[in-house]
Amino acid sequence: MKLNEGWVPVGLSSSIEPGTSTGTTIEGSEIVVWRDNSGHAHAWEDRCPHRGMRLSFGFVRGNHIACLYHGWQYDTAGQCRYIPAHPTLDVPQTIKVPIYRVKEKYGIIWTTTAEDVAIPEAEATEITPVRSLYVDRPIDDVFTAFMAAGMTSLHTNAGKVVRGDDVLFVAFQATAAAKTAAHIAIFGSAAVYRGAKQKHYAQWAEGLRFELEAAQGEAEVA
């Protein structure tokens, strides 16, 4: 799913702590995902308007993110507010980073540029994050592999896996044409699922990845 078609998962909420930033891609488009010190997550084009440096290499300063290169600071609306080399400059409104809509649901950060699109629906009150799994295979192949492993589709980029009494939620992100991220969470309290269950399902998902990538390797050899 493209950014302008619906909500795209870009990471586990737990993996972006307040005051930190990281980079990801959606079908090759570079995105910075960062969380301000108030706890709100943001997803923007990963490019400083000044010299094109990735903002994901930058630093969060309060509720601003500062570019690593020359320290230009942007507020939560993407507007440049401070240029260290010109501290008294009235920064024009034209210096602004393209920003995207963000929601957090099921312990996952979602982003889109589309209006009137819904995040996949699932019944969940509490969430325990498992891991984001990065697979060198196209999203359709990864989705199909999870379906073969018992997943029920909830949307074109999300599904639910029931294993015994446990319910996993998996959201899929096409990071590039042949690369996929699967963001995995358990529906249930961390008091119950933290620790052994997290490890168990992380290893289960890693097993799926091994099978997927091994199958690709065999196909290439053949």
Partner 1 sequence: MVCESFTEFALHRARRLDLEIRIVACDTSSATLSVRGQDDLVDAFEMACSLGPYDCIILDIERATA
Question: Binding string to partner 1 for residues 31 to 50, with x set by CB under 8 A, is what?
Answer: ------------------x-
Instruction: Take residue 102 and report the two structure tokens written for it.
Output: 């963000």
Convert 59-80 to b/e letters by CB count within 10 Å (16 or more is b): bbeebbbbbeeeebbbbeebbb
User: Which candidate, 46, 81, 49, places its Cα nearest to that of 63?
Assistant: 81
Q: In angstroms, what is the minimal distance from the CB of 95 to partner 1? A: 6
Cα 35 to Cα 58: distance, rounded to the nearest angstrom: 12
Backbone angles phi, psi at 137, to 5 degrees: -150, 155
Q: Contact at 8 Å (CB) between 103 and 8?
A: no
Residues 47-66 close enough to bind partner 1 by CB under 8 A: 49
User: Which candidate, 54, 44, 206, 164, places its Cα nearest to that of 109?
Assistant: 44
Question: Binding string to partner 1 for residues 70 to 109, with x set by CB under 8 A, is what?
Answer: ----------------x--xx-xxxx--------------
Q: In angstroms, what is the minimal distance from the CB of 26 to partner 1? A: 25
Choose between 68 and 83: whose C-beta lies nearer to partner 1.
Answer: 83
Q: In angstroms, what is the minimal distance from the CB of 25 to partner 1? A: 24
164 belongs to the binding site for partner 1 (CB under 8 A): no
Choose between 89 and 215: whose C-beta lies nearer to partner 1.
Answer: 89
Q: Which residues bind partner 1 (CB under 8 A)?
A: 49, 86, 89-90, 92-95
